[in-house]
Amino acid sequence: MAVWAWCGWRKDTRLQRKVALKTVKGADADTTEGRQRLMREARAAATLNHPNIATVHDVLDVDGQVMVVFEYVEGDTLAARLQRGPMTVAEAVEVARQLADALAAAHAQGVIHRDLKPSNVVLSPDGRAKVLDVGIARLVPAGADISASVPGTIGGGLVGTPGYAAPEQYLSRNVDGRADRYALGVMLFEMLAGRRPFPGSDAIQLVTVVLRDDAPKLTGSGL
């Protein structure tokens, strides 16, 4: 299983710019084949050019360790914003619209995020929402339709975050672009209600609730 570790902000001394750096650890990074796949998927994401997707500047193999260099994005995460309470309908819909545009662009190139959540979205001071970590997403084989699935797990573990992961991710089934759209729906609910439709962080308990129950209805002004 691949586990991505946050290394923090760095300065690109060659181009004199701030960048974000992440590295990968785990079984997928322990083999040449695994590292090659991780780099191939990150490079595919690097071809994406969209105003709502943080750019992948570079992908490196440093002494057998895969590192992805991302665009530095100024602003607060959506998670930080939601700690202050729910958004207005207009604010939430605008953020969701931008994220939907970003996902559509990624899916058109065969890139599935699989871990979309508020902490992976930055809201810049000018109101733009940017999706982070697309460079460590999963790639659908070239020429395949986005409805074609890819493995839902790497090495048997949940790929995704409990509370935002689609039901098929809990069940270790193959996933496609619909898993990203499910996560976006959860986030839109949270932006409006200030809470997720299915609270909790335990994957085993959540899968039972997600598969059994309907999402609660939103109530309030403008809903």
Tokens of 116: 């979309």
58, 101, 115, 176: which is the annotated catalytic residue? Answer: 115
The reported pLDDT for the residue numbered 39 is: 78
The reported pLDDT for the residue numbered 8 is: 56
Q: Which residues pair with 114 in a beta bridge?
A: none
Give the distance, in angstroms, between the CA of residue 60 and the centroid of all CA atoms in the same chain: 21
Q: Compute the distance between CA of residue 46 and CA of residue 64 in angstroms, rounded to an integer.
A: 20
The reported pLDDT for the residue numbered 177 is: 92
Answer for the pair 106, 48: CB distance below 8 angstroms, yes or no: yes
Which of the four pLDDT bands, split at 50, 70 and 90, describes residue 155? very low
pLDDT above 60: residue 5:
no
pLDDT above 60: residue 143:
no
Mean pLDDT throughout 53-61? 86
DSSP string over 139-167: EPPTT--TTS-B-SEETTEE-S-TTTS-H
pLDDT above 80: residue 14:
no
Catalytic residue list contains 58 = no
Tokens of 204: 């085993």
Q: Are strands 111-112 and 138-139 parallel, antiparallel or unpaired?
A: antiparallel
pLDDT above 90: residue 184:
yes
- Domains, the chain, ranges and CATH? 2-71 (3.30.200.20), 76-212 (1.10.510.10)
pLDDT above 50: residue 149:
no
Q: Compute the distance between CA of residue 51 and CA of residue 62 in angstroms, rounded to an integer.
A: 29
pLDDT > 90: percent of the chain? 35
Closest CA to 95 of 75, 110, 68: 75
Q: Compute the distance between CA of residue 183 and CA of residue 115 in angstroms, rounded to an integer.
A: 8
Highest average pLDDT, of 40-44, 64-68, 117-121, 173-177, comes from 117-121
